[in-house]
Amino acid sequence: MRFSQFFARTLRENPSEADTVSHQLLVRGGFVHQLVAGVYSYLPLGWRVLRKIEAIIREEMDAAGAQELAMPVLQPVELWEETGRNLAFGEIVFNVKDRKEHMLLLGPTHEEVVTMLARRWVKSYRDLPFTLYQIQTKFRDEPRPRGGLLRVREFPMKDAYSFHADGESLDVTYRRMAQAYKNIFERCGLPTLMVEADSGAIGGKDSHEFMVQAESGEDTIIYCPGGDYAANVEKADSLKEQGETESLLPLEAVATPDVKSIEEVAKFLRVPHKKTLKAVFYSAGDSLVFAVIRGDLDVNEVKLRNLFKGADLRLATDEETRQAGLEPGYASPIGFKGIKIVADPSITLGSNFVAGANKKDAHFRNANYPRDFSVDVMADIAIAKAGEGCGRCGKPLQSTRGIEAGHIFKLETAISGKMGADFLDREGVSRTIIMGCYGIGVGRLLAAAVEYGHDDRGMIWPENIAPFQVHLVGLNLDQPQVSSVADRLYADLKSAGLEVLYDDRAESPGVKFNDADLLGIPVRLTVSPRTIKAGVVEVKRRRDKESTMIAAEALQGHLRELLGKRNGS
């Protein structure tokens, strides 16, 4: 493709609204264009990358035994009412009405639609197992679209769904899909971590995300450098530091005037944070939840929400807390009943804690569980942190930032059970179909590739997903000899099956080289009066600092060698 004829225009400055590297570079390079917040056009450069990613995904899905189909974007709300997920997804769903006032929605995902197909297709165990997938546009009304393609309202996604007669069959497909995902990300040139994850509003059991490590990532990953444990912070667990173990002292009320926060209490009473108990109140539907955790730790709201089966959980207001008979800043479970109390096991890792006295300006010293109070649920509700012990080997955990590139999880019967998707087993007994779900955000993967591969000059595309393989730069093309040599080289490279972007514009060398660096195509070739005189072509890999001069007759062999080194190795 000749650059002079290509529908692309580069920008020198970063767009003011761009808040991540990928957003800045993709807009500057003419890969995408924002129509409205969270909605983008993929311009020809971006579309070429997207199609290459899709091709890799299709090849690996097909190799894993999945069958491609296409399901509608428009979905009847009645399907979602069968599962109750119209309420679980809430305001993130785009709702529309047709001319007959019938409620429809723009699909944020397709579990209900594909399960309806299985419900009509599957009659007995002989029809199982099978896996269906599609690459389809999804719609989610994100409250705060950000990061360019990383968090959008309209996006291309690969979603696959597997159907099984038993858990053993699901396990086989789950492992097969996990390997397919590893293959996809490796072929796209993106090293990823497979981490334990929360399934969110979709539901289900076992769940893993594939994370591309990047400082701009919106997810925190907790991992053990000495083992194979890694988890999204929403899911991660850890060994908490043991507090002081002392003989239990009598409960004692002390005055703490205008002292509310853990920081203030610890300083006022001269105790470490881990010697205190923190009380946090949440509204869950129509009821209040009292969460208790050691004062040096924080509540993981995802873990807490999962205890209440995805209920609409939010921090309670001071007014709601007082209406329940509790005083914000001075509350504890001591002597209190009538509200469900959920406690983290950390309250057992120590003794003689400081806790609220349930009245203004007062706290208790020497509060101990279970001597002084009881709880309704004891469960891990703490945010795991770097430095805490790995639950598998005890070594200190570390953390990093990551971008979610893919997510697989075992739905089991979370959807099929609610929709009556059943089959007859070998004994003729009706059973519920067991399901798995496997997603990849295709546009997000494109952005993640830029977040992972770039420098201060621009993008550095992995060879397998780069928009072109070769960027041919012609200098001084107003000279007939140069234009003749460059045109002939362009034709020869295309005839050899290479994808070439030929910069034939009437621009200065500086502009052309800056654009080549910005676009990040793996190999740059330069033809100029100087190279023609020497009988060579200047060759530079995008990730290298120095260029080399290659004899014109040896160029194609050299290119085959360079482009055979996958992912910039």
CATH number of the domain that residue 364 is part of: 3.90.960.10
Alpha helices in 42-159 (DSSP H): 44-63, 77-83, 85-89, 111-121
Tens digits of residue pLDDT in 427-448:
999 999 999 999 999 999 999 9
In tens, the pLDDT along 336-394 reads 888 899 999 999 999 999 999 999 999 999 999 999 999 999 999 999 999 999 988 88
Q: Is 281 part of a structural domain of the chain?
A: yes
- DSSP annotation of 144 reads S
| Same domain (yes/no): 419, 520 | no
Count of domains for the chain: 3
Q: Are strands 470-474 and 523-527 parallel, antiparallel or unpaired?
A: parallel
Q: Are residues 230 and 269 in the same domain?
A: no
Better pLDDT: 397 or 569: 397
Whether residue 139 is found in the same domain as residue 224: yes
Rank 123-132, 211-220, 555-564 by mean pLDDT and report only the highest: 123-132
Residues 15 and 63 in one domain: yes
Residue 157 domain-assigned (yes or no): yes
Q: Lowest mean pLDDT: which of 104-113, 223-232, 351-360, 401-410?
A: 223-232
Mean pLDDT of 487-491: 96
Reported as a pLDDT band with limits 50, 70 and 90, residue 86 is: confident
The pLDDT confidence band at residue 311, using thresholds 50, 70 and 90, is: low
Output the pLDDT for position 286.
78
* 298 in the same domain as 159: no
Please, which pLDDT band fits residue 199 given cuts at 50, 70 and 90?
low
DSSP 272-296: -GGGBEEEEEEEETTEEEEEEEETT
**Confidence band of 568 (pLDDT split at 50, 70, 90):** very low
Instruction: Name every residue whose Cβ is closer than 8 Å to that of residue 309 and which is 6 or more positions away in sequence.
Output: none
Clarify whether residues 104 and 182 are in a common domain.
yes
Q: What is the mean pLDDT of residues 155-174?
A: 98
**Residue 245 lies inside a defined structural domain of this protein:** no
Residue 279 — pLDDT band, cuts 50, 70, 90?
A: very high
Q: Examine the domain organization and report whether 230 and 328 are in the same domain.
A: no
Helix axes 555-564, 480-495, angle to 10 degrees: 50
- CA dihedral defined by 421, 425, 430, 434, rounded to 10 degrees? -30
Please name the residue that has the structure tokens 């070429």: 48
Q: In the prediction, which pLDDT does 312 show?
A: 75
- What pLDDT score was predicted for residue 510? 96
Asked which of 349, 378, 407 is the last residue of a domain, the reply is 378
**Residue 256 is assigned to a structural domain of this protein:** yes
Q: CB under 8 Å, gap of 24 or more: what pairs does 304-311 form?
A: 304/342, 304/381, 306/198, 307/342, 307/377, 307/379, 307/381, 308/284, 310/88, 310/201, 310/203, 311/284, 311/285
pLDDT of residue 306: 85
Q: 99-149 pLDDT, tens per residue? A: 999 999 999 999 999 999 999 999 999 999 999 999 999 999 999 898 899
CA 14 to chain centre: 25
Same domain, 432 and 473: no
**What pLDDT band is residue 468 in, cutting at 50, 70 and 90?**
very high
Is a pLDDT exceeding 60 seen at residue 502? yes
Residues 302 and 331 in one domain: yes
pLDDT at residue 200 is higher than 70: no
Q: What is the pTM of this model?
A: 0.88
Give domain status of residue 387, yes or no.
Answer: no
Q: What is the pLDDT of residue 325?
A: 86
Structure tokens, 498: 């290479």
Average pLDDT value for residue range 6-18:
91
User: What phi, psi does 225 have (nearest 5°)?
Assistant: -70, -15
Range of the domain at 174: 3-237+399-451
CATH of the domain at 159: 3.30.930.10
Residue 235 pLDDT greater than 70, yes or no: yes
Whether 564 contacts 551, CB under 8 Å: no
State the pLDDT at residue 72.
97
Is 111 part of any domain? yes
pLDDT-derived band at 326, boundaries 50, 70, 90: confident
Tell whether the model's pLDDT for residue 293 goes beyond 90: yes
Average pLDDT, the chain: 93
* Same domain for 543 and 474: yes
What does residue 198 show for φ and ψ, rounded to 5 degrees?
-90, 140
- Find the CATH number of the domain harbouring 550: 3.40.50.800
| Element holding 204 (H helix, E strand) | none
* Bridge partners (DSSP) listed for residue 67: 132
pLDDT over 80 at 203, yes or no: no
Whether residue 26 sits in one domain with residue 138: yes
- Is 119 inside a domain boundary? yes
Residue 287 has a pLDDT of 84
Question: Cα separation of 317 and 220, whole Å?
Answer: 28
Whether 384 maps to a domain, the answer reads: no
Q: What does the alpha-carbon distance between residue 512 and residue 505 come to, in Å, rounded to a whole number?
A: 8
Question: Do 152 and 41 share a domain, yes or no?
Answer: yes
Give residue 284's pLDDT: 83
